[in-house]
Amino acid sequence: MRTALVTGASRGIGRAIALRLGREGVRVAVHYAVDGTAAEEVVTAITEAGGEAFPVRAELGVDGDVETLFAALEKEVDGLDILVNNAGIFISGGIAEVTPEAYDRLFAVNVRAPFFIVQRALPLLRDGGRVVTITSGVTRMAFPESPAYVATKGAVEVLNRTLAKELGPRGITVNSVSPGITDTDMNAGWLRGDPRAQEEAAGQAALARVGAAEDIADVVAFVVSDDARWVTGTVLDATGGSGL
Ligand code: NAP
């Protein structure tokens, strides 16, 4: 049985990835920061469907975050086949408004944490493993609403190319999956319950709808499968054709 760590798996895209991997017969470490109830629900859903999962709590973006995460993880596992760096935050603010604090927070959660999670996971990752980072379609589209967020996602996409080269001799692939606008809590404030916002968001995708978390999870399921063994160092666009 393969083992996966999915960060930010209590809600949204990470939740859908955890559920999908659970259905594939992967044992899933369901990571979360604060919403333990939501994480437990994901674990229960996986186990009730016949899979295996357990929760792992660690707030990312603070001192000692990665050690907290791996101390909890290593109580349950002695190896990893799949690492999905999904946990991330969004802070809006154009170039004129973004504060150094917001910038640092975005980089701490979206770049520093996944960087050192990969580093810490190296001795656990088995040959032939998979590293996937959830980035964003904003790395190839202008997004003045948050240049700092854009910079974090660009940073990890660039990093992944180098990590792919580094880990390739071990048969470990490293890829980014970049969603477009997806209906999760991250967008709830402006998207949910507002038909005009829904319509505008849907209009950005060639496929003319807002993405669902499952749309992204299915792409991740492909990237971690044996079918994707020859795919590494790249970005899989999962935006429904946004910005075409
Ligand atoms: P979400 O619904 O807000 O869920 C965020 C998840 O990450 C939760 O499980 C949360 O845990 C965890 N998390 C957040 N901050 C954390 C921290 N500091 N430490 C540890 N865990 C933390 O987000 P989402 O929309 O699913 O986004 C997932 C990923 O997709 C992110 O990297 C995001 O940038 C990317 N993305 C999203 C969209 C979109 O439209 N939604 C588009 C492009 C890219 P708790 O439940 O414990 O809070």
Chain center to CA of 188: 18
Per-residue pLDDT tens digits for 44-103: 999 999 999 999 999 999 999 999 999 999 999 999 999 999 999 999 999 999 999 999
226 within a domain of the structure (yes/no)? yes
Q: Is 166 in the pocket of ligand 1 (CB under 6 A)?
A: no
Percent of the chain past pLDDT 70, that is, above it, reads 100
Structure tokens at 23: 């259905």
Q: What is the CATH number of the domain that holds 91?
A: 3.40.50.720
153 domain-assigned? yes
Determine if the pTM surpasses 0.95.
Answer: yes
Per-residue model confidence (pLDDT) at position 193: 87
Residue span of the structural domain in which 130 resides: 3-183+212-238
Whether residue 193 is contained in a domain is answered as no
pLDDT exceeding 90 applies to what percent of the chain? 99
What confidence tens digit (pLDDT) does each residue in 102-130 have?
Answer: 999 999 999 999 999 999 999 999 999 99
User: Is 17 inside any structural domain?
Assistant: yes
Assigned domain for 198 exists: no
231 lies in some domain:
yes
* Inside any domain, residue 200: no
Residue 150 Cβ contacting ligand 1 at under 6 Å: no
Assigned domain for 207 exists: no
Average pLDDT over residues 151-174: 98
Q: How many domains does the chain have?
A: 1
| pLDDT band with cut points at 50, 70 and 90 for residue 28 | very high
| C-beta 61 within 6 A of ligand 1 | yes
What ligand 1 atom has the least distance to the C-alpha of 15? 9
Tell the residue nearest (CA) to atom 10 of ligand 1.
8
Q: For 181-196, what is each residue's pLDDT tens digit?
A: 999 999 998 999 899 9
Residues labelled catalytic: 149
